[in-house]
Amino acid sequence: MPTLRVNGERREADDGARNLLSYLRFDLGLTGTKYACGEGLCGACTVLVDGQALRSCMTSVGAVAGGDVTTIEGLAPEAASMGELHPVQRAFVEEGAMQCGYCIPGFVMSTVGLLAREPHPTRGQVQEALAEHICRCGTYVRILRAVERAAGGATPGSTP
Amino acid sequence: MSAEGAGLDVFGDVTFGIPDRLRASYRTTTYFNTAPDEPMQRWLTVRPDGRVLAFAGKVEYGQGVRSGFAMEVAEELRLGLDSVEVTLGDTELVPWDLGTFGSGSTAYVGLQLRRAAATARAALLDLAADRLDLPASELGLAGGRVVAARDPARSLGYGELVADAYRRAEIPEGEVDLTSPGEFSVLGTERGRVDAMDRVTGAAVYSRDVLLPGLLHAAVLRPPSLGAELADVDARVAEQLPGIVRVVHEPAGPGRPALAAILAESDEQALRAASVVQARWEERSGQPSRWDVPRILLDSARDAMVMQESGDVEEGLGTSARTLEASYYAPYISIAPMEPRAATARWEDERLTVWAGTQRPFGIRSELAAHFEMPEARVRVIAPEIGGGFGGKSIYPLALEAARLARAAGRPVRVAFDRQEETQHSTFRPAALVSIRSGVDAEGCLVAWEYEAIHAGERALIGRRGSESPYAATHLRTVVSSADSPLPVGSYRSLGAAVNHFARESHVDEIAAAAGADPVEWRRRHLGEPRYHGVLDEAVRRFGWRSAAPGSGARDGRGVGVAVGIDVGSYVALCVAVEGGGQEVHVARVSAAIDCGLAVNPDGVVNQIEGGILQGLGGTLTEAIEFEGGVVLNPGFARYRVPRIHNTPRVDVGVVGDPLVRSTGAGELGIVPIAAAVANAVYDATGQRIRELPLQRQLQPAG
Ligand code: FES
Ligand code: FES
């Protein structure tokens, strides 16, 4: 039986072939990670595995066995106010970067992964890192601003 | 009634703002299949602990209604936003509602909540006047307390005022004393979304996230092509697989479609079993493909509705100095919300609860009650957060499927579309063909305008929306027809307005080009309504528009375009700049201006406009449904190309409405003029006039 850590907790999965997204959502009840395409084309299901952004819909529990999985719930688990959020989450709130919000956990996770390896990304690097994500509500203008803010690069209201 | 048995409830008419002519349609059509059982219902509660609860039948699918409603209530009760809790879309708790479509209706519900809050304010002042033995005129409200104006030490909290007994107030039928715009401290100010935290922490619950104890996952057998009928199911192998709890097969009956599904303990077990079921389908033969659509529209056009008529178009064309004639085409496009539909149903003691991310919770309740022949009071529909709707989630067959399966299984059941199902078994924005003939005099002034649109499908209102021309002309005729539709059609952001605007605003650009006129100037000369001028002036100012006739520039791969529009009583103008030649066009910059009357939450309006523009770029440049034989050939994001983050232009939006004018919708305005503005800019850049969407497919290679 594969074991892994999810948001810091050690977990044992029954079935290594289990789809990672289904495992997180249905078996662990971590529904903040979303399904939107199931084909690796939209980024809604993005989680971090050992700090790297990964499409959970495209992989199995067995494939990440031994790894450290972080979901959107694990970024700032105790946060009760804005100040306690992860800086990337806070930047999305401050820039109003959301409409329905369904795509947002995925964007946030990819951004966390990006900033971990590239603390001061260029606009091009941001677009590349988020190119595989879709927001159907079309909030890209604000998402770009939020990522820039999280990277310490922008002031409120600056237009991309 | 409040749980504590004390507190203040404010009741009011649930049909507030719905025109009488629409009330006549209650219970008659898909969108009006419901009616209020009780005209006076609860809109607002002040609890003994001082919290204020607001209730509305609208749902939140990204338009920010929860925040807008909280602001309306907070304003009238002089409260901080975090003291107001808004409950939406739960048929057991909120006032009856037709559904969240047509942004105008949301504005009315917001207004009714404001009236409810003002009613509560008056009641609280009365109570305090009694207790403090002061005339109400000497009392003020601040921070959730009624305060004596002369002696601020004397004050009573809202909670204290209502803690002693249960009270009920009613929103008066006529005028309610509302806060005037000059005194606003909340409305019209920049506020973040009240539900933003939940959306970045993953705590927000969408319909796909409703997981109940004992839940079964369903894999429903879906028809392989449109209209296919299930003839036979052999699930003997599937039944033996691990985790399978039941195979349900309910044949079709009167008013009831067939339903066959595998129910399993896990989602993957259900899917695996479904993949080995032997199902025989009787498919409809001879279904048309996408190439047949223009011909079908022309051949089957009917129910022509004259939307505008004055003068005599033939005579006008005859006396014109120059005439133009052109046709415009838009294919079917998919709504493709990020969250594919899902529903979870539970039966308990002959009571049914269904969680479904629908825009019509009360309509779905009526459908369920009718199907199971039970009173609506025993059916509860809860619309949780919705991951994008754009009009498409008014139709929600999964609610009934989940309810039927849960009944059969005796356990809660979850039915969820995957991406392919969401596209294939959904409705589409109808394909449309528009033919325009126009004539101008020697000065390029419009003399004659004839507009004939055919929109696929029976839903005539879709095609009529936004078809009327705002441009002055002596001879004018606008006609909109319905036609057969090979694909099911339904609502999508602005209905047919975006397509009608694509045709009209493109054609106007062609007129200006032929007359050698600047397209902004040409519009100014022909637009009467001052609100059009207001948005056009603002967009042009923001953009830094330089006067020139379309296509008169150097055509070095850069071009600019303009378009104006109206939808649900709001006005919009866009200026865009495009770059790049050949088959790739990049929209580099968009300046927009909007007038939606009082902008309750200006940042929310800007967010909606940006979103509409970005989403609209998909239908403008790349989106088109391909189908053949009743099958959608591009149901996934691999071949249905939607805008991505690297397609994002610089967008700036100005909000210019008069706060004394009633709020009208903003959610649909961004998408309305974008296709024409881009097509016009592409012409300016390349000299190619593209009259068919999506533009990218029609672009000639550079050279
Ligand atoms: S759901 Fe995994 S990439 Fe879309
Ligand atoms: S906010 Fe709705 S899909 Fe991105």
In DSSP terms, B553 is beta-bridged to: none
CA distance B124 to B192: 28
Q: Tell me the three state secondary structure of residue A145.
A: helix
Query: In angstroms, what separates the C-alpha of B160 from chain A's closest C-alpha?
Result: 28
List ligand 1's pocket residues with C-beta within 6 A.
A 35-38, 40-45, 55, 57
Which ligand has the shortest distance to the CA of B339? 2
Q: Which residues of B touch A138 (CB under 8 A)?
A: 610-615, 617, 643, 670
* pLDDT for res B667: 85
| Residue B75 at interface with chain A, using a CB cutoff of 8 Å | no
Instruction: Quick: pLDDT tens for B350-374.
Output: 999 999 999 999 999 999 999 999 9
Interface of A with B in 45-74 (CB under 8 A): 71-73
* pLDDT for res A77: 95
Q: Where are the domains of chain A?
A: 3-74, 82-150
CA distance B531 to B552: 29
Contact B683, B553 (CB under 8 A): no
Q: How far apart are the first and last CA of chain A?
A: 48
| Residue A157 at interface with chain B, using a CB cutoff of 8 Å | no
CB pair distance less than 8 Å for B200 and A104: yes
Average pLDDT value for chain B: 94
| Residue B614 at interface with chain A, using a CB cutoff of 8 Å | yes
Is it the case that residue B207 has pLDDT exceeding 80? yes
Tell me how far CA of residue A54 lies from CA of A49, A70, A71, B51, B598, in angstroms.
7, 10, 11, 42, 44
Find the helix packing angle between B103-132 and B65-77, rounded to 10°: 30
CA distance A81 to A83: 5
Is it the case that residue B553 has pLDDT exceeding 80? no
| Residue B225 at interface with chain A, using a CB cutoff of 8 Å | no
Q: What is the Å distance from ligand 1's center to B98 Cα?
A: 33
Q: What is the separation of C-alpha B651 from the centre of its chain, rounded to a whole number of angstroms?
A: 21
Q: Which residues of A touch B62 (CB under 8 A)?
A: 98-101, 137
* pLDDT for res A156: 43
CA distance B365 to B370: 8
Maximal CA-CA distance, chain B: 85
Question: Could you write out the three-class secondary structure of B44-88?
Answer: EEECCCCCEEEEECCCCCCCCHHHHHHHHHHHHHCCCHHHEEEEE
Token pair, residue B66, equals: 């929860």
Which ligand has the shortest distance to the CA of A47? 1
Contact A116, A129 (CB under 8 A): no
* pLDDT for res A157: 39
* pLDDT for res B482: 97
Eight-class DSSP state of B523: H
Query: In angstroms, what separates the C-alpha of B327 from chain A's closest C-alpha?
Result: 29
CA distance B243 to B405: 17
Out of B197, B266, B611, closest to residue A26 by CB: B266
Question: Could you write out the three-class secondary structure of B267-335?
Answer: HHHHHHHHHHCEEEEECCCCCCCHHHHHHHHHHHCEEEEEEEEECCHHHHHHHCCEEEEEEEEECCEEC
Q: What is the Å distance from ligand 1's center to B621 Cα?
A: 23
Q: Which domains does chain B have, with CATH numbers?
A: 7-201 (3.30.365.10), 208-283+341-416 (3.30.365.10), 291-333+428-698 (3.30.365.10)
* pLDDT for res B204: 98
Out of A75, A100, A131, closest to residue B62 by CB: A100
Instruction: Quick: pLDDT tens for B507-543.
Output: 999 999 999 999 999 999 999 999 999 999 999 999 9
- What global pTM score does this model have? 0.96
Q: What is the separation of C-alpha B588 from the centre of its chain, rounded to a whole number of angstroms?
A: 26
CA distance B413 to B263: 8
| Pocket mutation for ligand 2, best pick of A92, A107, A136, A143 (most atoms within 8 Å of C-beta) | A136
CA distance B342 to B533: 44
pLDDT band for position B453 (50/70/90)?
very high
Mean per-residue pLDDT, B258-280 = 97
* pLDDT for res B372: 97
**B304 Cβ contact partners less than 8 Å away, ≥ 6 residues apart:** B479, B480, B481
* pLDDT for res A159: 43
Mean per-residue pLDDT, B615-640 = 97
Backbone dihedral angles phi then psi of residue B562, each to the nearest 5 degrees: -135, 150
* pLDDT for res B601: 86
Average pLDDT value for chain A: 94
* pLDDT for res B101: 82
H-run or E-run covering B447: strand B446-456
Backbone dihedral angles phi then psi of residue B10, each to the nearest 5 degrees: -110, 120
Tell me how far CA of residue B631 lies from CA of B325, B423, B635, in angstroms.
35, 10, 9
* pLDDT for res B106: 78
State whether the beta carbon of A103 lies less than 6 angstroms from ligand 2.
yes
Was domain A3-74 assigned CATH 3.40.50.720? no
Query: In angstroms, what separates the C-alpha of B414 from chain A's closest C-alpha?
Result: 12
CA distance B253 to B74: 51
Interface of B with A in 328-347 (CB under 8 A): 336-340
Eight-class DSSP state of B92: T
Eight-class DSSP state of B183: G
Mean per-residue pLDDT, A133-144 = 97
Q: Hey, do A3-74 and A82-150 end up sharing a CATH topology, with the first three levels equal?
A: no
* pLDDT for res B103: 62
Token pair, residue B171, equals: 């929103």
- Nearest ligand 1 atom, CA A40: 3
> B59, B200, B272: best mutation site toward chain A, by most A Cβ within 10 Å?
B200
Closest CA to B670 of B602, B594, B597, B619: B594
Token pair, residue B418, equals: 């995957």
* pLDDT for res B321: 97
Fold entry, domain A82-150: DNA polymerase; domain 1 (1.10.150)
More confident residue, B27 or A50: A50
Q: Which residues of B touch A104 (CB under 8 A)?
A: 199-200
Q: Which residues of B touch A146 (CB under 8 A)?
A: none
Is it the case that residue B1 has pLDDT exceeding 60? no
* pLDDT for res B3: 47
Q: What is the Å distance from ligand 1's center to A40 Cα?
A: 4
CA distance B116 to B104: 19
Instruction: Quick: pLDDT tens for B178-194.
Output: 999 999 999 988 888 99
* pLDDT for res B554: 58
CB pair distance less than 8 Å for B338 and A39: no
Interface of A with B in 105-144 (CB under 8 A): 105, 108, 126-128, 130-131, 133-144
Query: In angstroms, what separates the C-alpha of B667 from chain A's closest C-alpha?
Result: 10
Contact B381, B361 (CB under 8 A): yes
CB pair distance less than 8 Å for B614 and A138: yes
In DSSP terms, B302 is beta-bridged to: B482
Q: Which residues of A touch B615 (CB under 8 A)?
A: 136-138
CB pair distance less than 8 Å for A71 and B643: no
Determine the Cα angle at B697 with ends B694 and B703, to 5°: 130
